[in-house]
Amino acid sequence: MKEKNLIDRLFKEKLYNYRAEHPEHVWDGIEKTLSDLEKTSSGTKWMLMGFWGAVVTLTIGGIFWYFSFGSPNPNLSPEDSSIALDKKTKQKASSSNSILSEKQMASDISTALSANVDEAMSTSSAQIEKDNSSLRTNSTVNRISKSGSDLSPMNGKTNMVHTNQIDQTIEASNNTSNVSLKKNNTNDLPTKDTETYYYNESGKRIATSSSLHQDVSPNNDGINLLRSDFSILSSTPSKFISFRLPKSYYKGDPDDCMEMIEKPFRRQYIELLSGPVKANRLFYSTDSTLQNNVINRSQSEKVKNAYFIGLRYVWNLNRDVALKTGITFTKINEKMTYQDGFNVVVETNKAGDTVRITRDPRFKIKDNYYSFVDLPITLSYTWRKNKFFFDFNSGLNLNLYAHQTGFFYDLYNTDKTVTAFDASEVYPFKHFAGISLLMSGTIGYYLGYNTSMFFEPGVRYFTTTLSSKDYPIKQKYVNYRMSIGVRYQFTKK
Amino acid sequence: MQPLNLNEIIEGCQSNDRDCQKALYDKYAATMLGVCQRFARHNQEAEDMLHDGFIQVFENIDQYNRLGSFGSWVRRLMINTCLNHIRRFSYQKELIGIEEMQMARVDPEVMQQFSEKELLKMIDKLPLGYKHVFNLYAIEGYNHREIAAMLGIEEGTSRSQLLKARKLLKKFISNALSTLI
């Protein structure tokens, strides 16, 4: 038997199953570490559960809220608006004859009519007649009349084909100019139509309210005539699920011209945003024998820089909830540090004899590039304060294409060029990085009517690994990004 | 109370049962400390490696697929932990013996007289690179390609270090024998 085998055999036989005396304090340390780990993992688990629970709840709640309560006034449900209106209009009528009151009243009445149609529909064939004397101001006549009958074959449901005509006239007087306004001769004056649609549960339009606003003031600076027509279009009305605000309404104070406000939702924006990304990559392997490689891989990585740029389309589903989508490009440039052998130093004495040799690890640096093209789809909820707005966004990022070029550690800890990867081996990376979860907050400032700028810190978590199915070392990204962007509203004023 | 069999211990560990974890530790700690001592520079470091290794075992025990021997799985994890430990506290400077070694042939029967502790001491005296390669190749049975991957060195380096480790061990054995005589 060869001597080298003898040596190997001797040591293997004696030492392979050698049992050393192990001190008890090692177990005490293990027990303490395990307890700490359990506490930490439990805390982290709860935090993660809470985080994703909040995201899911907000997303589902937002969708439910939008489809359930598309109210003209975000703060009022359709059922509440008539009650609130009564209070409002009474206050207005009793306070003054100011043109603002009249104008506000006009707007309010429009809403009241909407609410009352709802009431009429829900009370089936009831006859409703209201005489809102509280709305009389000066020579104002304000009468709301509705009637309906059940024409259904079973006489049990409200499915009548019926048209209610409601005519109202508000003639307002302006205290300051003391000019009485008349509703006649309005043909040559600017007009503004508003429409309110009513939908049943299946989304079919069943009623329409149209109002004619006409400016008959001397300076054409206010609305002081309103006529509303209601028509029920469908033969199968059922519970209303949605109101829509008029396309426009008016507001202002007595000293200023009336300002026309577009409906505050269904706005559309285009956003251009860009910013730096902090990319954290997580390496792991289901094969415990590859732990060294995993550690090598993660320790070798130094992210140099990363950035993203995106174009986003924002569509307001209502005043506060918006859908944001678009396309983004993310680039991550990494520096990888590999150990490349050793630097050997030979030390000699004066006589030139070698006294010792030392060696230090030698490193080389390689570049590594990752690119992602993604389609983000997020829902956002908006809060506004003066010229500022804040959006909370959450949703998904669908990766359209992922690509890597550069170098990486292979399973044998040698660096490989991705572009020259051996075709016989498993290609380590996917070209589709799957779906990521997105969450961000937008802090914006209105620069003008159409333009605003914003900052948007956010986080993106890859739900799937970037490694191909058969490659045993898996990697995921968590990206933290800070964007700066501009938003332009392109809906017509 | 009836002692648990290995399967029950493993299942208990997967449920984080502390008694089962202790039972697993008692079953393997002695052998694994023997493994760690061959990689460590001193006893304290071996105990640290044992600690870290068992934490790895308990953290990853869900991944044990029951296809191979559980003991081999624990051993592999322990060796990986030792190598990680070495890398983490990387020994920046390493002394490599270069003197020529002239040794007499060693009789296999005489070699058997050495105790485990004496052999361990000899391994301890090896330079770290030699020691790790010898441990992995001669005792644990890894091949040079695997060792190169595990230690982050070239295969040729692994071969060369093994050769030198054997030469040094032969020298230590010769010296020990001459002392005995």
| CA-based nearest residue in chain B for residue A5 | B138
Q: B6-88: what CATH class? A: mainly alpha
| Inter-chain Cβ pairs, chain A and chain B, closer than 8 A | 149
Q: A266-489: what CATH class? A: mainly beta
Joined together, the tokens standing for residue A387 give 């010229």
Where do the structural domains in chain B lie, given as residue ranges? 6-88, 108-180
Q: Is B74 on the interface with A (CB under 8 A)?
A: no
Identify the band that residue B168 occupies on the pLDDT scale cut at 50, 70 and 90.
confident
Q: Do A30 and B105 touch (CB under 8 A)?
A: no
Stronger pLDDT, B87 or B59, i.e. the higher one: B59
Q: Output the 3-class SS for chain A.
A: CCHHHHHHHHHHHHHCCCCCCCCHHHHHHHHHHHHHHHHHHHHHHHHHHHHHHHHHHHHHHHHHHHHHCECCCCCCCHHHHHHHHHHHHHHHHHHCCCHHHHHHHHHHHHHHHHHHHHHHHHCCCCCEEEECHHHCCCCCEEEEEECCCCCCCCCCCCCCCCCCCCCEECCCEECCCCEECCCCCCCCCCEEEEEEEEECCCCCEEEEEEEEEECCCCCCCCCCCEEEEEEECCCCCCCCCEECCCCEEEECCCCCCCEEEECCCCCEEEEEEEEEEEEEEEEEECCHHHHHHHHHHHHHEEEEEEEEEEEEEEEECCCCEEEEEEEEEEEEEEEEEEEEEEEEEEEECCCCCEEEEEEEEEEEEEEEEEEEEEEEEEEEEEEEECCEEEEEEEEEEEEEEEEEEEEEECCCCCEEEHHHCCCCCCCCECCCCCEEEEEEEEEEEECCCCEEEEEEEEEEEECCCCECCCCCEEEEEEEEEEEEEEEEECCCC
Across-strand partners of A382? A391
pLDDT at B148: 83
Across-strand partners of A372? A330, A402
Q: Which helix (H) or strand (E) holds B118?
A: helix B116-125
Q: B108-180: what CATH class? A: mainly alpha
Q: Is B121 on the interface with A (CB under 8 A)?
A: no
| CA-based nearest residue in chain A for residue B13 | A34
What percentage of chain B exceeds 90 in pLDDT?
8
pLDDT at A273: 95
pLDDT at A91: 38
**ipTM higher than threshold 0.95:** no
Task: Mean pLDDT check: name the lowest of A342-356, B10-24, B47-61.
Answer: A342-356
The whole-angstrom distance between A415's CA and the closest CA on chain B is 11
Q: Do A27 and B63 touch (CB under 8 A)?
A: no
Q: Do A33 and B51 touch (CB under 8 A)?
A: yes
Residue B88: count of CB within 10 angstroms of its CB:
10
Per-residue pLDDT of chain A (493 residues; tens, 9 = 90+): 566 677 888 888 888 888 888 778 888 888 888 888 777 766 677 777 777 887 787 777 777 666 654 433 333 333 333 333 333 333 333 333 333 333 444 444 444 444 444 443 333 332 323 333 333 333 222 233 333 333 333 333 333 222 233 333 233 333 333 333 333 344 444 455 666 666 555 556 666 666 666 665 555 655 555 566 666 654 544 444 333 444 444 444 434 444 444 444 568 899 999 999 888 878 787 776 677 677 766 666 666 688 999 999 999 888 789 999 999 999 988 777 766 666 777 777 777 777 777 777 667 777 778 889 999 999 999 998 888 999 999 999 999 988 877 766 666 666 666 655 445 555 677 778 888 999 999 999 988 878 999 999 999 998 888 887 777 778 888 889 999 999 998 865 4
Angle at A109 between CA A261 and CA A145, to 5 degrees: 145
Where do the structural domains in chain A lie, given as residue ranges? 69-262, 266-489
The C-alpha atoms of residue A103 and residue A98 are separated, in whole angstroms, by 9
The whole-angstrom distance between A3's CA and the closest CA on chain B is 8
For chain B positions 154-173, those within 8 Å of chain A (CB to CB) are 154, 166, 169-170, 173
Contacts of B105 in chain A (CB under 8 A): 3
Per-residue pLDDT tens digits for B67-80? 778 888 899 889 88
